[in-house]
Chains A and B, each alone.
Chain A
Amino acid sequence: MSDVTIERVPKGRLGVWLLIAGEIVIFGGFIASYILARLEYPEFGSKEAAGDLNIVVGTVNTLILLISNWTMVKAHEAALEKNVAKAKSFMIYTLVLGLLFLGIKLGYEWPTDFSHGHTISSSKAIADQAPGSEVMKVSLFWSYYFLMTGFHGLHIVVGSLVIFFVMLGISGGQNLHRVELAGAYWHLVELVWVILFPMLYLIQ
C-alpha cells in the first residue's frame, strides 16, 4: 500500500476500482435514502410493512451468494497458478450460483411478493387513493425493496456476463489477470448484499 502515484497502478485495476467506487456511491444513495425514510417514518419498514418477506429464503440466498464468492476466489487462485482449466471450472460454478441466486429471487421471492399485492408502484396506487395515509408509508417499503433488490439483481446479470466473457478470453492462457478484475466486480455484489440483506430483511 506504499505506491501512491497513478503511474504505478495498472490501468485495468484502477478502472475497475473507479467503477466499484461509483457503484458504491450509487447504492449508497439508495441506502441513505432508505435510512432517512425509516428515521422519518418509524412504521415504514416495520413488521407490518415488511412482514411478508421470507427471511429463510433470504438467508439461503445470502449463503448461495457467499459460496459464489468463494468459487470466484478459487478461480482467481487458479489463474495465479496459470491453471486455465481449473480457473474456468470455478468461474462456471460462480455463474451457476449467481444464476441460482437470481432464479430464487425472480422465480420465487418476487412472485410471492406480487401475490401478496406488493409491487414497486403499490405505494403510488395507495397514495392516489389516500394521500398521506399510514398505509402509503408502510407500502413505500416495497418500492425501496423492489428498486434495490432489482438493481442488485441487475448487477448480478452484468457480473455474470463479465465472468462469461473473461472466461472466453482466457482460453489460450492469455489475460489471466482479468479473472481477478472480474472477481473484484463480483465481490462488489456481495459487498452490497451484506448491507441490503440485514437492512431489508432483518431490521423490521
Chain B
Amino acid sequence: MAEEKDYHGKQNYVMLLGVIAVLVIAMVGIASTMTGSSKVLAISALAAIQFYVVLNNLMHLKYEPALITLVAYLSVVFIVILIFGVAPDTLLVNLDPSGQNGLVFIEP
C-alpha cells in the first residue's frame, strides 16, 4: 500500500505558522514605514521566505521523493525563465502614447 506510506517527520506547526504570521505583520510594517526600492526588496525577501516555508514545511516538499521535488521546483524555474525571457522584449518596447505609430522601439 504505497499510498498509506507516511513520508513525514515531526514538525512544530504552531511555530511554523507563528513564523509566517510574524513575517506577514513585518511586511505590513515595512510597507507603512519604508519607501522606494529598499521597501520592495525587503517585502520581496520576506515573501520569498514565506513561499519557501509553505512549500517545504506545510506542503511537506522536503519529505517528498526526489521526483516530486523536481516537478515542483521545475515549475518555479519555468516562471523565472518566462520573466527573464520576456523582459527584454517588454522593457525595450514602448506603446506610442499618440496611438498613431503603433509600437515604438527603444534602442538598447
Binding site for B on A (CB under 8 A): 1-6, 8-14, 17-18, 20-22, 24-25, 28-29, 31-32, 35-37, 39-40, 55, 59, 62-63, 66-67, 69-70, 73-74, 80, 131-132, 177, 180, 184, 187-188, 190-191, 194-195, 197-199, 201-204
Among B13, B24, B25, B31: residue with most chain A CB under 10 A: B24
In the bound complex, CA of A40 to CA of B30 (Å): 24
Do the beta carbons of B69 and A1 come within 8 Å of each other? Answer: yes
CB pair A32 B82 closer than 8 Å: yes
Once A66-B20, A69-B58, A132-B99 are accepted as A-B contacts, the answer to whether A1 and B65 lie under 8 Å apart by CB is yes
Cα A11 to Cα B1 in complex, Å, equals: 11
Query: Complex formed: what's the CA distance from A11 to B90 in Å?
Result: 40
Residue of A whose beta carbon sits closest to that of B49: A194
Complex alpha-carbon distance, A8 and B65, angstroms = 8
Interface contact A3-B21, CB-CB below 8 Å: no
Task: Please pick, from A4, A40, A194, the residue contacting B66 in the complex, using a CB distance under 8 A.
Answer: A4
Instruction: Known contacts A32-B83, A36-B90; decide if A10 and B58 are in contact (CB<8 Å).
Output: no
Chain A interface, >50% SS class: helix
Closest CB in chain A relative to B104 CB, distance in Å: 11
Say yes or no: A191-B79 contact (C-beta < 8 A), given A1-B63, A55-B28.
no
- State whether A4 and B47 are in contact (beta carbons under 8 Å apart), knowing that A21-B71, A29-B79, A31-B79 are contacts in the complex: no
13 A-B contact pairs sorted by A residue (CB < 8 Å): A1-B69, A3-B65, A24-B72, A35-B83, A59-B24, A59-B28, A73-B13, A132-B98, A177-B4, A187-B59, A191-B51, A191-B54, A199-B47
Residue of B17, B58, B91 with highest tally of chain A CB at under 10 A: B58
A187 touches B47 (CB 8 A): no
Given A36-B83, A66-B17, A184-B59, 4 more A-B residue pairs with CB atoms under 8 Å apart are A1-B63, A3-B67, A8-B65, A25-B78
> Is B66 in contact with A1, judged by CB distance below 8 angstroms?
yes
CA distance A141 to B76 in the complex (A): 24
Residues of chain A lying within 8 A (CB to CB) of residue B54:
69, 187, 190-191, 194
- Nearest CB of B to A166, in Å: 13
- Kindly list chain A residues whose C-beta atoms are within 8 Å of the C-beta of B4: 177
In the complex the two chains form, is B46's CB within 8 Å of A17's CB?
no
**Distance in Å from the Cβ of A202 to the closest Cβ of chain B?**
4
Contact check, A69 vs B17: say whether CB atoms are below 8 A apart.
yes
